[in-house]
Amino acid sequence: MAVEAHHLHLFYPEVLVNRGIGKAPKILPAILGDQKEGLCMPISGTSQLMSPFNNLAVATAAANGRKRKREDISFSGEGISVLLQNQIVDLDHLVAQHTQRMGAELAERRKRYALQLVGAVEFGLRKRVKAKDDEIERAKKLNWDLEERIRTLIVENQIWRELAQTNEATANVLRANLEQLLAAQAGDLDEKAQGCDGASAADDAESCFFGENDDGKAAMVGGSPAWTCRSCGQREPTVLLLPCRHLCVCVACGPAVDFCPICNCNKSGTVNVNLS
């Protein structure tokens, strides 16, 4: 024989609505019925008094065909209050545990967020510092390039100054040589004029011509080293050798000679002189 087990509530709605402990003695007779027997009021649809805490035991015993002695259970206002107090304590304990766990989790999240914030700020600062360092390095490199350019310009300026001084000295020497050549040429012309004027009118044309040829030969012999090229001996010297500054070779022999024919100084450069 199978017995249908019903799901029973431990408390009636009146107990759940009225949670005041002081009202428990007034409600208990309606809830518990006879306290000596430990039974509840019969449930609608049944004709047998049943203990709400022994439904499962009774159903199991009936199913197995065995009878068990029911344990007497008594309820009082003090038991209800203790039960409610225990439930409240358990609830408070659960709330406290949940609060503690939430607090720990919030603290962990706050710590993690703070670490992330510090890391982001540190990354931004490191990036800005690196950008500033790169800018400083670029400025240093630009400054170094400018200093090198200034040093190069100073050296070039010194070279051009020395070259200008050398050219000026060369021009002065050329001017002096030209003045000497012009003076020598003027002196030769004067000597020739004086020789022609001082000749006797009684001399015949042959002796006069012979004397004039002798003067010309003397002029050529005396002026040959000064008015002919020291290298080929044929053309007029128009090239000034450097650094000795001797005007002693012609245009054709200037590039060919490696040293001065007069002082045997090594040639470092030449300057063409226009005597016309």
- Find residue 265's DSSP bridge partners: none
Binned at pLDDT 50, 70 and 90, residue 119 comes out as very high
Window from 24-28, 167-171, 178-182 with minimum mean pLDDT: 24-28
Residue 29 lies in a domain: yes
Residue 162 lies in a domain: yes
User: Are residues 114 and 81 part of one domain?
Assistant: yes
CATH number assigned to the domain comprising residue 267: 3.30.40.10
pLDDT in tens, 124-155: 999 999 999 999 999 999 999 999 999 999 99
**Whole-structure pTM over 0.75, yes or no?**
no
pLDDT at 138: 94
16 — phi, psi (to 5°)?
A: -70, -35
> How many domains does the structure of the chain reveal?
3
Binned at pLDDT 50, 70 and 90, residue 212 comes out as very low
User: Are residues 91 and 16 part of one domain?
Assistant: no
pLDDT at 70: 47
User: Are residues 170 and 82 part of one domain?
Assistant: yes
User: Are residues 146 and 58 part of one domain?
Assistant: no
Average pLDDT, the chain: 71
User: Are residues 169 and 81 part of one domain?
Assistant: yes
User: Are residues 232 and 245 part of one domain?
Assistant: yes
Its domain, for residue 252, covers 228-276
Residue 133 lies in a domain: yes
Residue 244 burial by Cβ neighbours in a 10 Å radius (0-12, 13-18, 19+): middle
User: Are residues 94 and 51 part of one domain?
Assistant: no
Q: Which residues contact 254 (CB under 8 A, 6 or more apart)?
A: 239, 241, 270, 272
